[in-house]
Structure 1
């Protein structure tokens, strides 16, 4: 097992639990990586879990990460593709059992930390794989899925995504799915959802809901960010809000680490310090050659637009990450910036992972 050098870093004197509410385990520099190959759809078979991936994940201090698996977009059969992707990830975890472990309960998060392994949370970023059969929630539950995001940017059978201009809210099937997710104690993730979809879901859910990766629209008025009303409602019902390290945190698309801190601070002031965390939407291992990546970026953006899944704020010259808050030191740097902001260690501990773990306790263990 790769050693975790937390004690060697000044900012990790407290040995924080770090839970990324939406992230990636991958070496994006590997030839088959989606980021390197310019693929529109990422699957478990496009992921490279190599020695560098594991070493840098450990060195970053990461305790657990909610990964995206299964169907998000594309022309494959959503259900069959998702079942296959779950099987691929099960193999990845089995082959790397000394370093990685599947998370099914809140207790698993704490056990992973004690064992020095990285917890992997199975999550969807689109519920299309459910088709029109609500009982598939039960199937995915049995297979270890713990987070189901209702929509991606576009509309689906459950409701409208953030880029659907009609903003129609939940469908009857979407309401049925939420009730089934509640019955099975799975997280209802409202990232990427339209405003009405988010508000309606938060109101009808019997259990707290989450927005695992977002920004604050009061600071940057883009559809992928959430309004104060959405954020406040989710928090008021015991939910969780994760702030991403994404370009949508600044209207120019060139978000910086300081913007991440501003959005975290706004969310904390609005939602309270017990309901805010991080969902970076990116890997720990950084892309090494940004010039080469920039050459592929325009093609990737064009393909997303053609597929109808892009969001306002994406652009040919817009990296899908925060340039000065990436790589193995990203969490160390965030801690330093929050300390500069005057955040005490107890609040930082909550934001880095404790709040997500507590939210998981409320949902998965209820």
Structure 2
């Protein structure tokens, strides 16, 4: 793991998820993947002088990931459905303490919340998932549940990490607007309109026909604006995304995606959607989940292909409207995609001619990503103000505009 030994090191006391319970009595125990050292350590190559700049950035700036899943997957992924059935996810606290991250948009695993149904996104399952995860977080001190902007700023000062509770879809609200209020009360501060399959609000990117944002979807957008929930369209179909951006009175995000101009799949966003997002004051965060942000130049997924998407978007919409949402987790992400390919829209959104990888070197998990992203930016000549924007302040600007004061 690429450790950042910064002055504001996270205060970690060795806590492990659910250590206040008795395994085998209170819950079934599964052997989990390694948080640290699952794959060979990779540090993007920089000079000693450049590394000193990287260290200063981690010491002094707010480092924000706009999209992650900080849970630890089971080592044996054939057990994944049974593992998810109990609705108990384990957070990689030790690895996160070494990540250098100050704020993480935690997206849980609610597309695979399978307590009562294999379909995911059921209301009761999502509430179960959120509640148990929040119970675990409430028993430790390093991670704080961020509900106001002040929580984000104090996290770094206190040597802690702020978790922004996020959901990738609004499917679970069905046709009940007040469920948005309930989720806000649970701490949810950003939500996607739709995952890849259509719901009551609109069409997902997997659908062959995109009819755009529904009447109910427009009502939901208005309610989110009033509540202070940041709206995301990463998994929305193109028309639904454009309708959402137009309907919203506040900026909208694309918190984990890439550029379709570099890789022609529905999972990537076309230029017109990204331009509309930026013109509304929003931000586009680049994702790194395996086999997503590849390019013709770099068909093998790695940090170079990932950053090629970053530069494409920055050149398209400007440096003020791009950030990073790697969308990683702890465990074998590639095999997890294989296991879930029947449940989620993963395979349908990937091109067939990419070069398969076992993992994305340099972007393996939430603890490894940002040290290498910042090293890449420093090595390629980005100045301090540009780096400050793309690793934090661009996101904070959007939250200032969308969250309740």
Question: Smaller-chain TM-score range?
Answer: 0.7 to 0.9
For residue 130 of structure 1, what is the aligned residue in structure 2? 173
For residue 22 of structure 1, what is the aligned residue in structure 2? 67
**Partners of 2:142 and 2:78 in 1: CA distance:** 24
Indicate whether 1:87 and 2:131 are aligned.
yes
Q: Which of 105, 128, 132 pairs up with 1:66?
A: 105
**Partners of 1:40 and 1:309 in 2: CA distance:** 21
Q: 1:41 to 1:200 in 2, by over 3 A?
A: farther
Instruction: Give unpaired runs (5+ residues) of structure 1.
Output: none
* Distance apart, 1:39 and its partner CA: 3.8
- 1:60 is paired with a residue whose SS is coil
For residue 361 of structure 2, what is the aligned residue in structure 1? 323
For residue 304 of structure 1, what is the aligned residue in structure 2? 341
Q: 1:260 to 1:332 in 2, by over 3 A?
A: same
* Distance apart, 1:143 and its partner CA: 1.4
Counterpart contact for 2:88–2:133, Cα < 8 Å:
no
Q: 1:40 to 1:215 in 2, by over 3 A?
A: farther
For residue 175 of structure 1, what is the aligned residue in structure 2? 218
- 1:119 is paired with a residue whose SS is strand
More helix by share: 1
For residue 250 of structure 1, what is the aligned residue in structure 2? 294
- 1:336 is paired with a residue whose SS is helix
**Partners of 1:145 and 1:344 in 2: CA distance:** 34
**What do residues 289-315 of structure 1 show as CA deviations (whole Å, max 9, x unaligned)?**
x6xx87x55xx5364236666432178
Task: Using structure 2 for the length normalisation, give the TM-score.
Answer: 0.78
RMSD after superposition = 2.8
For residue 89 of structure 2, what is the aligned residue in structure 1? 47
- 1:198 is paired with a residue whose SS is helix
1:1-366 equivalences in 2 (<5 Å): 5-7=5-7, 10=52, 11-14=54-57, 15=59, 16-28=61-73, 30-31=74-75, 37-39=79-81, 45-49=87-91, 53-69=92-108, 71-73=110-112, 74-75=118-119, 78-96=122-140, 98-246=141-289, 247-250=291-294, 254-283=300-329, 285=330, 287=331, 296=335, 300-301=337-338, 303-305=340-342, 310-313=347-350, 318=356, 322-327=360-365, 328-365=367-404
**Partners of 1:137 and 1:189 in 2: CA distance:** 14
Q: 1:261 to 1:70 in 2, by over 3 A?
A: closer
Instruction: Give unpaired runs (5+ residues) of structure 2.
Output: 10-50, 113-117
Q: 1:176 to 1:338 in 2, by over 3 A?
A: same
* Distance apart, 1:60 and its partner CA: 1.5
* Distance apart, 1:209 and its partner CA: 0.6
Q: 1:320 to 1:364 in 2, by over 3 A?
A: farther
* Distance apart, 1:159 and its partner CA: 0.7
Task: Using structure 1 for the length normalisation, give the TM-score.
Answer: 0.86
